[in-house]
């Protein structure tokens, strides 16, 4: 463990020093800098905050190193694991897979007619609500991150339960209200503010809450009848919430959209034999499928 930590610390130190050298070099030239990476962005913010506070930038403080380590782990394992679950889910739900392929080709008619891979510019500019819905449903159903942890900063009450200051509160994303029917909560146990406020999201239908169904993320636009993606259709904690939510959410979602779009554009995902397509999982940093196998054929145009 000591050796692994030393390797990790040396890697972070090297990347930080390179970014700091770039920042100082560009500052010396009086050039405006645009972030080149997540670490670069954080260090630029530290430079700006330090200037406002009249102190030297603390580029190498522990908080920045810890944040960068979080970027390294969360930015790789979770996206790769979500893609693994998505391959399984789309193979086991061919109707969703075929609907996604149909929507993609309708949105990119030139690429479909020419029987070629869509260019990045085409993928980035296309508007396919069903693709957003598939990504969100994979994240909801796969439950890649099973919980989010927050520490109570003051003594407080949550649903009538006393939570002392300093308590680590585990916010589960794989139980009632997410993948299982909701638990009834009496209004008397809610805070006055919660009783008077509108919910942040909708509520999943208990009848199909345990099913993989991307359509739950879509609503119909009244004046046109078109499908519209609704990111707050129901509760989800795939990226956390609030000011401490995932720093890389937009990048992660865009990456998954591109990967699923190209995968389904080119390939048919076929269901694997029963003994190779189970949904058992192992909890490492992310919740990974025990079995992740594929059977493929080329998708016809």
pLDDT for res 242 = 79
DSSP strands (E only) in the chain = 147-151, 156-158, 161-163, 168-172, 218-220, 227-229, 267-270, 281-283, 287-289, 295-298
Residue 34 placed within a domain: yes
Q: Report yes or no on 43 lying in a domain.
A: yes
Give the separation between CA 204 and CA 233, rounded to whole angstroms: 8
Asked if residue 271 is part of any domain, the answer here is yes
Q: What is the mean pLDDT of residues 244-265?
A: 90
Better-predicted residue by pLDDT, 202 or 89: 89
pLDDT category at 122 given cuts 50, 70, 90 is very high
Residue 19 labeled ligand binder: no
Report which of residues 72 and 48 the model is more confident about: 48
Q: Bigger pLDDT: 261 or 26?
A: 261
Residue 276 in tokens:
């190779």
Least confident of 123-127, 149-153, 238-242, 260-264: 238-242
Same domain flag for 226 and 255: yes
User: Are residues 78 and 36 part of one domain?
Assistant: no
Is the pLDDT confidence value at 199 over 70?
no
What SS3 class is residue 154? coil
Q: Does residue 233 lie in a domain region?
A: yes
Q: What CATH number is attached to the domain comprising 119?
A: 1.10.630.10
Structure tokens at 199: 């919910």
- pLDDT of residue 198 exceeding 70: no
81 close to 241: Cβ distance less than 8 angstroms = no
Domain assignment present for residue 165? The answer is: no
**Residues 13, 124 within the same domain:** no
Q: Same structural domain for residues 38 and 103?
A: no
Domain C-terminal end among 16, 33, 60: 60
Which residues, other chains included, contact 220 with Cβ-Cβ below 8 Å and sequence gap of 6+? Answer: 226, 227, 228
Q: 87 and 52, same structural domain?
A: no
Domains: count for the chain: 2
Q: pTM for the full model?
A: 0.82
Candidates 117, 109, 83; CA nearest to 286 is: 83
More confident site: 198 or 146: 146
Q: What is the pLDDT of residue 87?
A: 97
Domain annotation covers residue 164:
no
Final residue of a structural domain among 60, 93, 108: 60
Give the integer Cα–Cα distance in Å for 56 and 122. 45
Is residue 127 in a domain? yes
Overall average pLDDT of the 245-253 stretch: 84
Q: Which domain holds residue 91?
A: 68-147+200-298
SS3 152: coil
**What angle in degrees, to the nearest 10, is found between the helix axes of 249-266 and 62-92?**
30
Whether residue 143 is found in the same domain as residue 11: no
Structural domain includes residue 175: no
């Amino acid at each position: 463990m000591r050796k692994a930590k030393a390797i990790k610390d040396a890697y972070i130190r090297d990347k930080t020093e390179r970014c700091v050298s770039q920042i100082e070099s560009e500052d010396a030239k009086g050039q405006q800098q645009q972030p080149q990476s997540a670490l670069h962005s954080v260090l630029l913010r530290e430079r700006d905050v330090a200037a406002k506070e009249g102190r030297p930038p603390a580029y190498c403080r522990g908080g920045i190193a810890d944040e960068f380590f979080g970027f390294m782990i969360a930015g790789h394992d979770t996206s790769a694991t979500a893609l693994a679950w998505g391959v399984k889910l789309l193979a086991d739900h061919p109707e969703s897979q075929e609907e996604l392929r149909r929507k993609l080709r309708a949105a990119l008619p030139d690429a479909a007619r020419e029987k070629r891979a869509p260019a990045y510019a085409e993928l980035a500019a296309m508007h396919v609500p069903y693709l957003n819905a598939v990504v969100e449903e994979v994240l909801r159903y796969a439950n890649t991150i099973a919980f989010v942890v927050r520490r109570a900063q003051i003594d407080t009450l949550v649903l009538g339960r006393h939570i002392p200051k300093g308590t680590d509160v585990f916010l589960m994303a794989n139980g009632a209200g997410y993948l299982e029917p909701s638990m009834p909560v009496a209004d008397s146990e809610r805070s006055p503010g919660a009783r008077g406020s509108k919910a942040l999201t909708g509520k999943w239908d208990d009848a199909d809450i345990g099913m993989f169904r991307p359509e739950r993320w879509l609503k119909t636009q009244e004046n046109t009848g078109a499908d519209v993606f609704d990111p707050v259709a129901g509760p989800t904690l795939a990226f956390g919430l609030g000011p401490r939510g995932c720093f890389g959410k937009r990048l992660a979602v865009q990456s998954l959209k591109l990967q699923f779009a190209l995968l389904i554009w080119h390939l048919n995902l076929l269901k694997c034999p029963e003994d190779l397509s189970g949904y058992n999982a192992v909890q490492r940093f992310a919740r990974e499928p025990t079995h992740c196998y594929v059977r493929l054929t080329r998708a016809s145009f």
